[in-house]
Every structure is written in structure tokens, then in C-alpha cells.
């Protein structure tokens, strides 16, 4: 995260507002899910901002399930054959998350090559970005209702060491997600190419699973060799392992792993995910910051006769997987074995 410099006095209205706004934007850019977040519900993370919501408030989101009827053709009578919209609501609670940094005193600050106040501020931004990513990963992993096990295994107890992830298994999971699973996964909208809108699903896997793909799957290896330019102007492609069969595959070490799968409970396993639109909903509440509304709280403080300096940051937020009528709306969990890399 880049350095930020303001010269207004400590805890002045201008300084606090600027730092809070700047940190809001910068910490978001440092998040893994930043490029997969939108406010219109067309991406993995649907972010709902509301200045009026305080910590402890329950937020509500409604979703209308797709129409599934046959309709009528020609001049057949439609009246009395209409479908009733099928709505489901979910609720979740937002709460306050805070942290602070403080250095020992001016002598410590002068002796280090770093500018400690600035480093504290930037470090808290990195911390907040990481905490928000972890919370989203944790929400995705909660009690999946749509699960695909590689090689048609019945349970994690029947997964063998050789049941590693392959591109074929990701494709099979996608077919399950869009044909068999209910509700079917809706893709995310990632780009506009001329008059055509480009849609994708996003596959997430642990780095150990990505290792297995790269080392053991000849289809993956050949696809990487044959891959062309990915469209560098689109940030959705930044960091993707591969764009394959309508899926952007990414690796991240926050995906859950296990060491107790298999018949003897000793097989290393991993849970990967295929994600579509509105897989997670994030609610952000608000603060009054020097009389103005803001989504991130910034407080600077001097201690010990102004010898020590500290900064605290806070955010009111809550994450929840989209679950309607006890069904995951846009998450499919994919379970496989993995190579255990110590």
C-alpha cells in the first residue's frame, strides 16, 4: 500500500476525514475480493452500504428465484397460468471491528529508518484488507449445501490420495452447478467487448490444489502453454491461473484444507469453490466522522505528554453467504485430495 501524507493537525476534521476516506479506498484495493465486488449484485460479492446502520443492526436481503414455468405459445390463454414470484429473505448482523497501532515514543521514531506513524497507518490498512478477505472466505465455507466430490466419491471418508483436482473435475463441477444444482449458479459479469457482455464463473482453490494442477494435470499444462493474452486491461484477469471453459481459476491460501479425510482419516484434502453472482453479501454500516457520514472510523491520539502516538481504525460490517430457503444461492463446494506441502 502506498504512503499517504497529510499536513493538517492531529485529529483535525480535515485530517481525519481525508485519512478515513483514503484508507477506505486503499484498503479495498488491497483485498483479494476487490475486483469481484459490486454494488449492483452482478459480481461474487454484493456490497450494501448504509450510513444509517450501526453495530448490532440486522440487515436483510431479498432474492427472487428464477421463473421456471413453460409459459404459453401462440394464442394459448395466459390468464390464470401466471407464475407467482418466489421470494426468499436472508438476514445477518453487522458488528464493529477495530484495531490500533502505537509506537513507544519520539526517540524510537527517530532511531528507526521507517516513519512509524505512517507505517502504523499503512499497516492498519493492510490488516483491515486481510481481515475483510478472511471474513468473506469464512462466509463462503459455512455449511455448503451444494457439494461436488471429485471422481464421484460419496463422502470425504471415501476420498483417496489419488483423487486430486484436475481441470476435468472443475468442468464437471461447473456442469453440475448449471444443470443439476438448484438454484443454478448465475455467472458474474466481468467485461463488455463491443456489444457483447462477457460472463464467467470463478473457481477458487488452495495453493496446494493449484500445485497439483500445475504438476499433475497434462490438460492444465497444455492449456497454459497454449494460452494467449488474457486481456490485460481487465482487472478480473489479474492474478488468475487460467481462463478455461468459462471459468477464471484463482488460488488463495484462505481456502480450507484438511488432514483427516479418507478411510483412515489421514488423507490430505481440500475444499475448492465455484462461485457465481451474489455468492456473498457484505453489509457496511456507517459512522459520524467529524460531523460527516463515513464508512471507516479513524482516530489519532497522543499519549504521555504527546511523546507517544497511536492510530485506531474501525469499520462496522458483516458478511454472509447468500442462503435462501436453506440453499446456497451461488456457491458450489468441490472436495478433492491434495498434495500436502509442509
- Given a cut of 60, is residue 335 above it in pLDDT? yes
Strand duo 308-321 + 242-244: pairing: unpaired
What's residue 111's pLDDT?
Answer: 58
- Given a cut of 80, is residue 55 above it in pLDDT? no
pLDDT band (50, 70, 90) for residue 109: low
Domain locations in the chain? Answer: 13-39+49-141+283-319, 147-278+328-337
- Given a cut of 90, is residue 320 above it in pLDDT? yes
Mean pLDDT of 133-138: 97
User: What pTM does this model have?
Assistant: 0.85
What's residue 309's pLDDT?
Answer: 82
In sign, the C-alpha dihedral spanning 136, 142, 146, 148 is: positive
Q: List the single range of 70-74, 85-89, 288-292, 318-322 with lowest mean pLDDT.
A: 288-292
Q: List the single range of 148-157, 226-235, 318-327 with lowest mean pLDDT.
A: 226-235
What's residue 291's pLDDT?
Answer: 67
Residue 318 and residue 59 in contact, taking contact as beta carbons nearer than 8 Å? yes
CA 273 to CA 19: how far, in whole Å? 36
- Given a cut of 50, is residue 8 above it in pLDDT? no
Q: List the single range of 5-14, 89-98, 128-137, 316-325 with lowest mean pLDDT.
A: 5-14
- Given a cut of 60, is residue 15 above it in pLDDT? no
What's residue 4's pLDDT?
Answer: 36
What's residue 254's pLDDT?
Answer: 96
What's residue 275's pLDDT?
Answer: 98
pLDDT band (50, 70, 90) for residue 141: very high
Comparing C-alpha atoms, which of 301, 302, 298, 300 is closest to residue 314?
298
CA 109 to CA 102: how far, in whole Å? 11
Higher pLDDT, 56 or 180: 180
Which cell goes with 266?
A: 489421514
pLDDT band (50, 70, 90) for residue 90: confident
Strand duo 257-261 + 267-275: pairing: antiparallel
What's residue 19's pLDDT?
Answer: 58
pLDDT band (50, 70, 90) for residue 24: low
- Top mean pLDDT of 66-70, 86-90, 329-333 is at 329-333
Which cell goes with 54?
A: 450501526
pLDDT digits (tens, 9 = 90+) for 173-221: 999 999 999 889 999 998 777 778 889 999 999 999 999 999 999 999 9
E strand residue ranges, the chain: 37-38, 45-49, 58-64, 87-93, 95-103, 147-149, 188-193, 196-205, 242-244, 247-251, 257-261, 267-275, 280-284, 287-289, 292-294, 297-303, 308-321, 323-324, 327-328, 331-337
Which cell goes with 51?
A: 450510513
Q: Classify domain 13-39+49-141+283-319 at the CATH topology level.
A: Major capsid protein gp5 fold (3.30.2400)
Mean pLDDT of 233-262: 85
Mean pLDDT of 232-246: 71
Q: List the single range of 63-77, 115-129, 239-253 with lowest mean pLDDT.
A: 115-129
**Mean pLDDT estimate for the chain:** 85
Terminal C-alpha separation, the chain: 29
Amino acid at each position: 500500500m502506498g504512503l499517504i501524507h497529510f499536513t493538517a493537525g492531529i485529529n483535525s476534521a480535515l485530517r481525519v476525514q481525508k485519512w478515513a476516506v483514503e484508507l477506505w479506498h486503499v484498503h479495498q484495493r488491497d483485498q483479494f475480493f476487490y475486483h469481484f465486488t459490486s454494488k449492483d449484485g452482478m459480481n461474487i460479492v454484493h456490497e450494501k452500504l448504509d450510513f444509517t446502520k450501526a453495530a448490532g443492526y440486522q440487515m436483510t436481503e431479498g432474492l427472487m428465484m428464477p421463473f421456471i414455468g413453460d409459459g404459453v405459445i401462440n394464442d394459448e390463454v395466459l390468464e390464470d397460468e401466471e407464475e407467482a414470484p418466489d421470494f426468499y429473505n436472508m438476514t445477518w448482523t453487522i458488528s464493529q471491528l477495530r484495531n490500533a497501532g502505537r509506537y513507544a515514543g519520539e526517540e524510537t521514531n527517530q532511531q528507526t529508518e521507517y516513519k512509524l506513524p505512517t507505517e502504523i497507518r499503512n499497516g492498519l490498512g493492510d490488516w483491515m484488507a486481510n481481515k475483510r478477505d478472511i471474513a468473506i472466505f469464512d462466509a463462503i465455507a459455512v455449511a455448503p449445501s451444494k457439494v461436488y466430490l471429485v471422481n464421484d466419491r460419496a463422502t470425504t471418508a471415501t476420498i483417496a490420495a489419488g483423487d486430486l483436482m484436475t481441470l476435468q473435475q472443475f468442468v464437471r463441477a461447473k456442469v453440475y452447478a448449471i444443470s443439476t444444482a438448484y438454484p443454478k449458479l448465475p455467472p458474474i459479469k466481468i467485461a463488455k467487448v463491443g456489444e457483447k457482455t462477457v460472463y464467467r464463473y470463478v473457481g477458487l482453490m488452495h495453493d496446494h490444489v493449484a500445485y497439483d494442477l500445475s504438476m499433475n494435470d497434462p490438460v492444465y499444462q497444455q492449456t497454459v502453454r497454449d494460452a494467449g493474452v488474457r486481456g490485460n486491461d481487465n482487472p478480473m484477469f489479474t492474478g488468475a491461473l487460467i481462463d478455461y471453459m468459462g471459468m477464471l481459476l484463482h488460488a488463495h491460501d484462505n481456502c480450507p484444507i484438511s488432514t483427516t479425510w479418507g478411510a483412515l482419516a489421514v488423507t490430505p484434502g481440500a475444499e475448492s469453490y465455484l462461485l457465481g453472482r451474489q455468492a456473498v453479501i457484505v453489509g457496511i454500516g456507517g459512522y459520524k466522522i467529524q460531523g460527516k457520514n463515513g464508512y471507516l472510523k479513524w482516530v489519532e491520539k497522543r499519549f504521555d505528554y504527546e511523546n507517544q502516538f497511536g492510530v485506531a481504525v474501525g469499520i462496522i460490517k458483516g458478511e454472509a453467504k447468500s442462503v435462501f430457503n436453506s440453499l446456497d444461492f451461488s456457491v458450489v463446494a468441490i472436495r478433492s485430495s491434495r498434495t500436502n506441502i509442509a
